[in-house]
Amino acid sequence: MGGISDNIKGALLMAVSMLAFVLNDTMVKMAADHLSLFQTIFLRGVMTVVLVGIFAWYKKQLFYRFDRRDWGVVALRLMGEVGATLCFLTALFNMPLANATAIMQALPLAITLAAAIFLGEPVGWRRYGAILAGFVGVLVIVRPGAEGFNDYSLWALGAVFCVVLRDLATSRLSRNVPSLYVSFLTTIIVTVFGAVMLPTESWQPVTTPALVQLLGAAVFIIFGYQTSIMTMRIGEISFSSPFRYTVLIWAMLLGIFVFGDIPDVWTIIGSAIVVLAGIYTFYRERQVGRQEIASQEQSPRPEIDGMIEEEKIS
């Protein structure tokens, strides 16, 4: 990538990251033909714990002592992560990959709304309008009351709300908390949750293809996390963020060629509405950020004003 700008590099990394996440979902959905839900959560979790643990040990972030304030925040984050895993995999096991992925694309809009309500972040009427349009797009995808309505769409919506809880909690963590340690602790808790829930389902024979698929899922999800972190450190986030919606292209292609699921017209229309609303939200955030920077540069600094006034008096 020698002659490519940082923004283009960031956009390409974002697209690769989204592909990695969809490949993880694809592998998990393929494993659903052989394993139960909680078997999948548990076995993939064990593999992920080992891989993340080795990486955390290499980075010397395997152990960390939280402050008392951070424990409550971490507990909320873990609750959100466990709920998101349960809800999304339940949806993924029982509905087309593209549909479940499309519903999850309402996440940036939901986070913007939640940040305005619970954290007091300023959101103008334009972004509220985009959020409303995005949720309309989700309703077009879900189509409650329609003949083709899949009850498991509600599980995908539940995953959206759980991820909002997780991300809001993450934003309240102290800055000195290592991200890798939080990821390691999260994988442990999700794996323990899968183990505790195992007795509620009948144990299925673990086949070699299923193990290979879950190992692939663990590798892809870690790769997705790492490339997404790299994306945030290269170029302008506001430029690369809209490329997260390439996940829909990957999901539709893999859904067609791997599972034979062809999205219907309403799913495509709803996905387009959600994507356009999300891109507009990113655009507005970028515009507002520029306006705030410009106003700060134009407003005189108090200490300079004071010096000028003293010179005039003297």
pLDDT (0 to 100) of residue 232:
66
How far apart CA 69 and CA 266 sit, in angstroms, is: 46
Structure tokens at 182: 């939080």
256 Cβ partners below 8 Å, 6+ apart? 262
- Which amino acid makes up residue 273? I
pLDDT (0 to 100) of residue 310:
43
pLDDT (0 to 100) of residue 65:
83
How far apart CA 182 and CA 226 sit, in angstroms, is: 14
pLDDT (0 to 100) of residue 308:
40
Structure tokens at 28: 């998990």
User: Which residue numbers in the chain have pLDDT < 50?
Assistant: 148, 303-314
pLDDT (0 to 100) of residue 31:
93
How far apart CA 83 and CA 196 sit, in angstroms, is: 14
pLDDT (0 to 100) of residue 279:
87
Evaluated on CA atoms 154, 158, 161, 163, the torsion sign reads negative
Evaluated on CA atoms 112, 116, 121, 122, the torsion sign reads positive
How far apart CA 30 and CA 49 sit, in angstroms, is: 21
**Mapping DSSP to helix (H, G, I), strand (E, B) and coil, where does residue 62 land?**
coil
- Which amino acid makes up residue 236? E
pLDDT (0 to 100) of residue 307:
42
1 Cβ partners below 8 Å, 6+ apart? 8, 9, 12
How far apart CA 161 and CA 169 sit, in angstroms, is: 12
